Amino acid sequence: MEFTCIRNYTAAPGVGAVQINRPAALNALNLQTMTEIVEAFAACDADSDIRCILLHGNEKAFAAGADVKEMSGAGAVEMLERDQFARWERIRQTKKPVIAAVSGFALGGGCELAMLCDMIVASETAQFGQPEINIGVMPGAGGTQRLTRAVGKALAMELVLTGRMLSAREALRAGLVNRVVPVETYLYEAAALAREVASKAPVAARLAKESVLKSFGTSLESGLEFERKNFYMLFATDDQKEGMSAFVEKRKPKWTGK
């Protein structure tokens, strides 16, 4: 069986790079590819040498959506039983920070996959969109919810109802991506950001990620409580002692992830 997702754990220190690799289909996300991405992410989560995950496609496509050819003949019950979007949900449960490097198309399930990542570095050629309306359906892997939270109702409604694509610059203005960089260097820039995140105290990074994500599904009061408990919990780690001692002693901290 040919792999449609390539793992490279030596791209940068502490970074697990995962590449979606179906170039002939513009990286359309079929069941096999999504399964392999989920497996790669789980392996990264379990590997203490990896502290940040970098997900990317190629220059032309991050991913042009869920695989339309795989879905086109399916009935509702078959779709329900297949439960393909459970794989996107598994990605959401990744403990370590995830950075998406997006160039070219990030459409439908591809845009939804990028939005599941914690930060997005876009190349100048990146195009984001939820074009499902053009093929008689609607987003099914979180697009109506995450896009709306990221860019607001007006723009989300427009993108979902017209299928229009958003350029990288528009995506930056709308708050969907962290930065836009030249296509020649987008992977390097994304890897540099991943390396920076990987250099931080791992338990603090994990709990900080959890706390930010918590804000999307809870009241302010519960979110603040969740944050405070995570903050206090970090005082049970060696890295908190090391980080604060290093600050006082004016030296660089050495993280152990304990």
Q: Which residues carry out catalysis?
A: 66, 109, 112, 132
- Which residue number, 38 or 203, has a Cβ lying nearer to ligand CAA? 38
Size of site (CB under 6 A) for ligand CAA:
21
Question: Looking at 101, 108, 150, 168, which residue binds ligand CAA (CB under 6 A)?
Answer: 108
Q: Rounded to whole angstroms, how far apart are CA atoms 87 and 36?
A: 10
Between CA 233 and CA 27 the distance in angstroms is: 41
17 versus 29: smaller Cβ distance to ligand CAA: 29
Are the beta carbons of 108 and 85 closer than 8 angstroms?
no
* The binder of ligand CAA chosen from 105, 128, 186, 255 (CB under 6 A): 105
Point out which span in 23-31, 41-49, 151-159, 243-251 binds ligand CAA (CB under 6 A).
23-31
DSSP 66: B
In the complex with ligand CAA, the residue whose CB is nearer, 39 or 70, is 70
Of 39, 59, 140, 214, the one binding ligand CAA (CB under 6 A) is: 140
Judge contact between 6 and 19, C-beta under 8 A.
yes
- Cα distance between residue 177 and residue 21, in whole Å: 22
Binding mask 61-100 for ligand CAA (x = CB under 6 A): ---xxxxxx-------------------------------
DSSP state of 235: G
Among 14, 16, 97, 143, binds ligand CAA (CB under 6 A): 143
Beta bridge partners of 20: 5
Separation between Cα atoms, residue 209 and residue 216, nearest integer Å = 12
Stretch that binds ligand CAA, among 51-59, 101-109, 188-196, 218-226 (CB under 6 A): 101-109
CA dist list (Å): 75 to 69, 81, 82: 13, 10, 10
Q: Does 28 bind ligand CAA (CB under 6 A)?
A: yes
CA-based end-to-end distance of the chain: 39
Please identify, using beta-carbon distances, which residue of 87 and 195 lies nearer to ligand CAA: 87
CA distance 55 to 16: 8
Query: Which class for 172: exposed (0-12), middle (13-18), buried (19 or more C-beta within 10 A)?
Result: middle
User: Nearer to ligand CAA by C-beta: 97 or 139?
Assistant: 139
The residue from 20, 91, 112, 186 that contacts ligand CAA (CB under 6 A) is: 112
Residues of the shown chain interacting with ligand CAA in the complex, contacts defined by CB under 6 A: 25-26, 28, 64-69, 105, 107-109, 112, 131-132, 135, 139-141, 143
